Structure 1
Amino acid sequence: MLPPERGIVVRGPVGGLLLGLVVMVAMAGCNRLSFIKPDYTRSDFRRTAPELDVVTDDRSKSTVKARTAVQQGQLAYTKGDLDGARKAAVDALKSNPDFAAAHTLRALVADADGEVEVAGDHYRRAIELAPHDGGTLNNYGTWLCANGREQESLQWFDRALADRGYRTPAAAMANAGACAVKAGQGGLAVKYLDAALAIDPQNPVALAAMAEHEFRAGRAFHARAFSQRRLAAAPADARSLLLASQIEEKLGDKDAADGYVQRLRAEFPDISGSGAGENGKR
């Protein structure tokens, strides 16, 4: 069972909380989190890198073995070696089934394998074991949002932001903003996304979400600005190119729209129905 929820942030005064975090992150000297290389090619939900915290005060033999296995698995995952990462996760869990990072690694591999429910089970177990760790909470929130539970995900990002030792709050802010856009909560989304971009102006998740929000709101010129910043900040994903083509179509620039469609077809040939229209067709 999950422990009682502590530190949940009430979203009413979210602006004040996020402003405080902007100041706090500039002062932070903590380096306890390690990160897996982000995958910007996912088109279902664009998120910042999943986070693994392998630091622990437990020096028992079983935990040391589990931590070493997770570190090896993290390296394998970063290189695209899912078999190696999977084996490392299994080894880590055998060594210490109560090591949160081992469950996170197993969840990442399951996600990559398309085992959605297996991933969810391990993300949930990780937060049972590390209920106040920002990175672990952020990971679970992104899994919820990626699987159609946008509204439910928001409380978990708030819990991540309540972790005063969380080194990269812009990650949770950006993900929360993107999920709020998906949930149709534009006002809340802008608060999160503005705060994320104040810390990290090149955050691709926040920029993409702002572009989508502005486009949905009928502000195509503003959407174009955020879309261009998104494409300059990180390698394009299919959704960002599709949105860019839709924006240009809306603004009447057919040549620019066609250019993005051509990029989409060239860079993501397996995406069916590539195009600039609302349904992905021209």
Structure 2
Amino acid sequence: MKKLVLISICLLLTACASQSPQDRMNNFDAAEAAKTRISLGLTYLKNGNFSQAKRNLDKALEFAPQMADVHFSLAYYYQRVEEFEQAEKSYRQAMQFDRNNPDILNSYGAFLCQLGRYDQAQGYFMQAVNSQSYNRVAETYENLALCSRSQGQTADAIEYLERALNHQPGRSQSLMLLAETLLDAQQWQAAKDALARYERQGRVTPRSLYMAYQAESGLQNLQGARGYAKMLMQLYPQHPLTAQAQQGAVTSAPQPEVRSETAARLAEKTDTAALQSQDQEVQDEAQWHEVQPGENLYRISLKYNIRMDKLIEWNNLADAQDIKMGQTLRVSQP
């Protein structure tokens, strides 16, 4: 049996050794070689080695001059090095070989938007989202929104971001862009709602907290704004946005109207009594809280304006993740 195996291996080696260069050339797969060169070229491009990127993409073009992906990759290369005329030429050649490729249409739309050709960009974006086999519709709508914002088309941007979220409701980047655009449009409540959707995913960043602070300030909810400013200070004390929120929380306080000294003192006493009464009501109602679906400790701490470490301490929690739906939490000091 061992002898047969050895004979077989010898025959195989003989066949390989006797294969002529012409035979090896006949087995060469130009399309696969081009794809390999594209992959290498894009990797070099990602790592900032532009000369090696171009060398490999040129080789890919040599192997498969009619492959759409080759021209698509070259278009991206030229776009990165800001050779825009060559980039457009490569994009058009890619579409010539694969006219209905939604990825190419989407990227060409982004390229046109970069050049400020908004109307043309919108047309190519819409061609991409209307492709039946396309699975990146949310991403293209997001590109449309970014393009719209760059042209000052705020209403269009909001509409496109809402469409993106219809296709991918949990897309955090679209939620943040939507909140940011709504803040620009001074649609404070809608921005607050978008941020609440973002926060329900358990994502908290200095930017999201600062935007929530802006929304509360726009709604004239100074207590809520100060709560977010305080949360920024607790979680990100060194972040630049924290300093902005702290400064804004002081300067955005309403200025007292000019009144007589007697009236001012009377009003101050009345306001203080009302606030104390309101605080007492909140404490009475907020002694316990039942965790609702989608809530996290961060959201609960904001609701009652209590530091998360205090909630952890009062409820003997291991950490901020140690809560579950239906659990009852103490939200006032024992």
**Distance in 1 of aligned mates of 2:56 and 2:89:** 18
Compared CA separation, residues 224 and 165, structure 1 to 2 (3 A): same
1:89 match: 57
CA distance in structure 1 between the partners assigned to 2:67 and 2:163 by the alignment: 32
**Contact kept? 1:99, 1:129, Cα under 8 Å:** yes
Q: Aligned match of 1:74 in 32, 39, 42?
A: 42
Task: Return the letter of the residue paired with 1:117.
Answer: E
Q: Does 1:189 align with 2:157?
A: yes
Deviations 1:246-282 (A, max 9, x none): 77457545848997996469xxxxxxxxx89xxxxxx
Aligned to 2:257: none
> Structure 2 vs 1, CA of residues 257 and 147 (structure 1 numbering), >3 Å: closer, same or farther?
farther
Specify the alignment match of 2:86 in structure 1. Answer: 118
Partner of 2:140: 172
What is aligned with 1:100? 68
Query: Matches of residues 1-282 of structure 1 in structure 2 within 5 Å?
Result: 61-223=29-191, 226=194, 229=198, 248=213, 251-252=216-217, 253=225, 255=229, 263=239
Conservation of the 8 A alpha-carbon contact between 1:145 and 1:179: yes
Q: Render the CA deviation track for 1:216-239: whole Å, top value 9, x for unaligned.
A: 321134335546839x89998xxx
The answer to whether the 8 Å contact 1:224/1:247 transfers is: yes
Report the structure number with the largest CA radius of gyration: 2
Contact 1:93 1:102 in 2 (8 A): yes
Contact 2:191 2:215 in 1 (8 A): no
Return closer, same or farther for 1:139/1:225 CA change in 2, 3 Å cut-off: same
**Distance in 2 of aligned mates of 1:128 and 1:88:** 22
Look up the equivalent residue of 1:112 and give its one-letter code. R
SS, match of residue 140 in structure 1: helix
Q: Per-residue deviation at 1:156?
A: 0.4
Offset of residue 160 of structure 1: 0.6
Q: Aligned partners of 1:84 and 1:257: how far apart in 2?
A: 48
How many residues in Structure 1 have an aligned counterpart in Structure 2?
Answer: 208
Question: Do the aligned residues in 1 keep the contact of 2:165 with 2:171 (CA within 8 Å)?
Answer: yes
Q: Normalising to structure 1: TM-score of the pair?
A: 0.57
1:204/1:120 CA distance change after superposition, 3 Å = farther
Deviation at 1:92?
Answer: 1.1
Q: Within 1, Cα distance between the matches of 2:162 and 2:121?
A: 19
1:98 aligned counterpart, secondary structure: coil
Residues 1:104 and 1:169: Cα distance change in structure 2 (over 3 Å): same
After TM superposition, give the deviation of residue 214 of structure 1 in Å. Answer: 0.7
Looking at structure 2, the residues matched to 202 and 113 of structure 1 have their Cα atoms a distance apart, in angstroms, of: 34
Aligned to 1:34: none
- Unaligned residue ranges in structure 1 (runs of 5+): 1-58, 266-274, 277-282
Q: Is the 8 A contact 1:208 1:226 kept in 2?
A: yes
Residues 136-170 of structure 1 show CA distances to partners (whole Å, capped at 9, x for unaligned) of 10000111112222232111011112221112222
- Give 2:278's aligned residue: none
Q: Which residue of 2 aligns with 1:51?
A: none
Alpha-carbon distance between aligned partners in 2 of 1:114 and 1:105, rounded to the nearest angstrom: 14
Q: Against the structure 1 CA distance between its residues 153 and 81, is the aligned structure 2 distance closer, same or farther, given a 3 Å change threshold?
A: same
- Kindly indicate whether the alpha-carbon contact (under 8 Å) linking 2:68 and 2:95 is maintained by their aligned counterparts in 1: yes
User: What SS does the aligned partner of 1:136 have?
Assistant: helix
How far did residue 203 of structure 1 move?
A: 3.1
